Structure 1
Amino acid sequence: MRRLALPLSTVLVMTAVVPAQAAPDLGGQVLPEGDGWASAGGGTTGGAEAAPENVFHVSTAQEFREAVSGDEPKIVRVEGSIDANTAPDGTPLSCGDYAVDGYTLEEYLAAYDPEVWGREEPSGPLEEAREASADAQAERVRVEVGSNTTVVGVGDDAEITGMSIRVINQENVILRNLTLSDTHDCFPGWDPGDGGEGNWNAEYDHLEISGSTNVWIDHNTFTDGDNPGSELPEYFGRRYEVHDGLLDVVRASDLVTVSYNHFEDRDKAILVGNSDGRTTDRGYLRTTFHHNHFDGLGQRAPRVRYGQVHVYNNHYTVATDLYQYSLGVGFESYLYAENNLFDMRDGIGAEEIVANWGGTDIVEHGNAVMEDGRGRVTEVDLVEAHNEAHPDRALGTELTWVPQFHTRVEPVHAIRGLPREAGAGLL
């Protein structure tokens, strides 16, 4: 049998080893041009210009707190799991460790039970002890991030639990590839006048953007983790709520892009603007939400006041007994919603997707629903569905602005696979 001799060049090609591609340097990446409102102004670069001595690897709450402070350009790489409820030396802290002046939940419940106390607001030494205990926890779990900062998770398992991260009066901040879990309040307060029947009110958002500009929030997971609100007990006939929001963009913050995040299993999720009376928010709160997975949320995905807010190409899994609405049209809001996909479950109808919270108009087009995660994607007129069900709170569709900063708006059917792309560990 005759053997064929391959040319040497061919042999080399066949046996060459292709080098493995290095993982992208997430810390050095900046927001692409035109990617939402945060690309406006000077753009959002975070700590991309950090000197080598300002690149930090952190694995404890104390290291994180120290690394994110200050305004110099810096990159903070989070490794593994960080628990905010720890002492500076790393010792775990329970709710009991924060309690001062004799506070206990049992005594609080006994003292302010409406059958005993009535419908007045709690007051006196025990309420003061609750407030002092809350202050002790706040000192540990609230952490403020300075300007020109990139915070990025290393690998696919970087998690910060129990921490309320705050970007207050800062600029040029990036947070990516992080799981932010169970930012719980050990000392919720009882307000007997809230909502007519009373409510428990908790502090601490997972992430608060307040008075800040050019912020990019990308590929993070916001979750209650092992402490879901659905499993919390009831006291005084109301759920004992230990969580506040997942994300707030408030107090004249501006130029924010929220992309490819997974927001899951929370009643009250996202606020843009936190008060009808805060007229200083006019002209600010410009925010873009795109390619996020809003998964099992009860309400506020987002609820908007004042701001020009572009919501496009997001995937909503609408499935919870707490569900009230997804898009909240609030006071002087300018909400532009396009090509979002709503996976409607548990018998929830399209007429419940939009809620009027004192707004007048919403521009929406190209949005669609599908049933139970399968079947045909059907385009729906969200305003028409809302107005037919709620004629006393009818909304208009006046066009007051047109989004200029956005990536390609994909066809709505292309969003079916988005849950496999949104969240931490998927960059």
Structure 2
Amino acid sequence: MRRPPPIPVLTLAALLTATTLLPVAPASAEPDVDPRGVARETLPEGDGWGSAGRGTTGGSQAAPENVHVVSTLEELRAALGGKEEDTPRIVYVDGRIDANTDPDGAALSCDDYAVDGYTLDAYLETYDPEVWGRQDPEGPLEEARLASAAVQAEQIRVEVGSNTTLVGLGGDAALSGVNLRVHDVDNVILRNLTFSDAHDCFPGWDPTDGASGNWNSEYDQVEVSGATNVWVDHNTFDDGDNPGTELPEYFGRKYEVHDGLLDIVRETDLVTVSRNHFDGRDKAMLLGNSDSRTTDRGYLRVTWRHNHFDGLGERAPRVRFGQVHVHNNVYTVRDPEHFGYSVGVGRESHLYVENNLFDVHDGIEVGTLLRNWGGTDIVEHGNVLTHEGSGRPAPVDLVAEHNAHFPDAPLGTEVTWVPQFTAEVEPVHAIRGLPREVGAGRL
């Protein structure tokens, strides 16, 4: 596997150092907790790109001593073993695990991660463009922000090893505030979990990002990077109690504390994303994170099927380079104030978009459902529109609508590949009830 050099991070603040890194021996129990054997299930043959290659089996071959039930962050880390671990394992999450708590269960705030005198008020005062100008922040306060961010990262980042199944017990299993990283590993299954609010306490101000500058944050809810054969199924992704639409503005831009819900980047390959509920995020799902990362050519082969993209602002998904099959998903597009586009056609992307239902609410222009981000072609057929959940679905030509709306950035329809792993492409009328069937607790 590709192994990037480790990124040095500071030790946690004194409150956390002596406790959070101690090994914990989680409980082992099976089949009492899983009489249906859900955690032993593997991705069926032909079910999307994740079934290609060696297939995705996760920890289905785990020995009894490598089956764990966890209910704390320390137990979760110990059970997963970290990215260097490849022994097959099954990890059940029991209840809600909050990354922003200490080992005694006390809540940790952003102030608990701040070091070297960092405060948001001081940062805003120092780097106000009216005072600092349009140049990158630098100096002791920016260094303090980076040091504080490293403290938070050490607390909330959790690494998944190869040959792992991570699955929630019942309907209330959740990872809150966790940045779950599937990095440079193979054969991982994530099922029946709610991933909520992996917020960044220390976003950085970039005055040169766009015409007016932007706040940029770290921490995807789930970050899949350099991985192969991954199945993400029956999960819920949301902002928890920290919705992005209610975040304040500083320097005239939203103080963005969230990154992606599920980002798939850096030569990741052979992934199936099925029956998940993606709820409410602005920038939701990125496939390929840079136009300049040409090493992604030949990778990023991903299937998105039977998901509910619910009130997302954009990136559902945004695609670069990969051969990506998007079928049988339901898009609820409801908020014109916070909506940009649904499917982003990026550089050298090869998108095949079929049999999806777009439920478009008042104020949404149909031509904005696609957006050209430096791409050339997209194959789409069988997609339909409804209006606010009512009425008979009407066929829609997404490319024609896009080209009429954006005549200066037209998209073509050349067929550059045809999906082969499509065991469950359904007629679009069969998915109208999909939102009631997907997400955590519906497995």
TM-score bracket for this pair, using the shorter chain length:
over 0.9
Answer yes or no: is the 8 Å Cα contact 1:86–1:140 preserved in 2. no
Answer yes or no: is the 8 Å Cα contact 1:205–1:243 preserved in 2. yes
Offset at 1:89? 4.5
* Matched residue type, 2:298: G
SS of the residue corresponding to residue 271 of structure 2 reads: strand
- Post-superposition Cα deviations, 1:82-126, rounded to whole Å, max 9, x if no partner, equal 001123454421111000011111111111111111111111111
Cα distance between partner residues in 1 of 2:133 and 2:349: 38
Cα distance between partner residues in 2 of 1:63 and 1:146: 15
Structure 2: gaps of 5 or more residues: 1-33
Out of 390, 414, 419, the residue aligned to residue 430 of structure 2 is: 414
Aligned partner of 1:378 in structure 2 is: 394
Matches within 5 A, 1:274-293: 274-293=289-308
Out of 283, 297, 301, the residue aligned to residue 312 of structure 2 is: 297
Check if 1:395 corresponds to 2:411.
yes
Check if 1:138 corresponds to 2:153.
yes
Aligned partner of 1:16 in structure 2 is: none
Offset at 1:133? 0.4
Matches within 5 A, 1:27-426: 27-69=39-81, 70-320=85-335, 321-426=337-442
Cα distance between partner residues in 2 of 1:257 and 1:342: 21
Check if 1:24 corresponds to 2:36.
yes
Cα distance between partner residues in 2 of 1:85 and 1:138: 11
Offset at 1:23? 4.9
- Post-superposition Cα deviations, 1:373-414, rounded to whole Å, max 9, x if no partner, equal 111100100001111111111111000111010222111122
Cα distance between partner residues in 1 of 2:389 and 2:256: 30
Answer yes or no: is the 8 Å Cα contact 1:304–1:328 preserved in 2. yes
* Matched residue type, 2:243: P
Offset at 1:80? 0.3
Q: Report the count of equivalent residues.
A: 406
Cα distance between partner residues in 1 of 2:263 and 2:270: 14
Aligned partner of 1:5 in structure 2 is: none
Deviates more, 1:344-353 or 1:270-279: 344-353
Cα distance between partner residues in 2 of 1:196 and 1:72: 49
Answer yes or no: is the 8 Å Cα contact 2:182–2:227 preserved in 1. yes
State, as a whole percentage, how many aligned pairs show the same letter. 69
**TM-score of the superposition, structure 2-length normalised?**
0.90
- Give RMSD over aligned pairs: 0.9
Offset at 1:347? 1.9
Answer yes or no: is the 8 Å Cα contact 1:328–1:356 preserved in 2. yes
Cα distance between partner residues in 2 of 1:193 and 1:159: 37
* Matched residue type, 1:222: F
Cα distance between partner residues in 1 of 2:123 and 2:202: 10
Structure 1: gaps of 5 or more residues: 1-21
* Matched residue type, 1:25: G
Answer yes or no: is the 8 Å Cα contact 1:249–1:273 preserved in 2. yes
Answer yes or no: is the 8 Å Cα contact 2:183–2:225 preserved in 1. yes
Aligned partner of 1:7 in structure 2 is: none
Cα distance between partner residues in 1 of 2:110 and 2:404: 48
SS of the residue corresponding to residue 433 of structure 2 reads: helix
Cα distance between partner residues in 2 of 1:319 and 1:200: 25
Cα distance between partner residues in 1 of 2:405 and 2:372: 12
Cα distance between partner residues in 2 of 1:122 and 1:367: 46
**Superposed structure 1 runs of 4+ greater than 6 Å apart:** none
* Matched residue type, 1:376: R
SS of the residue corresponding to residue 147 of structure 2 reads: helix
- Post-superposition Cα deviations, 1:275-329, rounded to whole Å, max 9, x if no partner, equal 1111111100000000000000000000000000000000000012211110100
Which structure would you say has the larger Rg?
1
Answer yes or no: is the 8 Å Cα contact 1:184–1:243 preserved in 2. yes
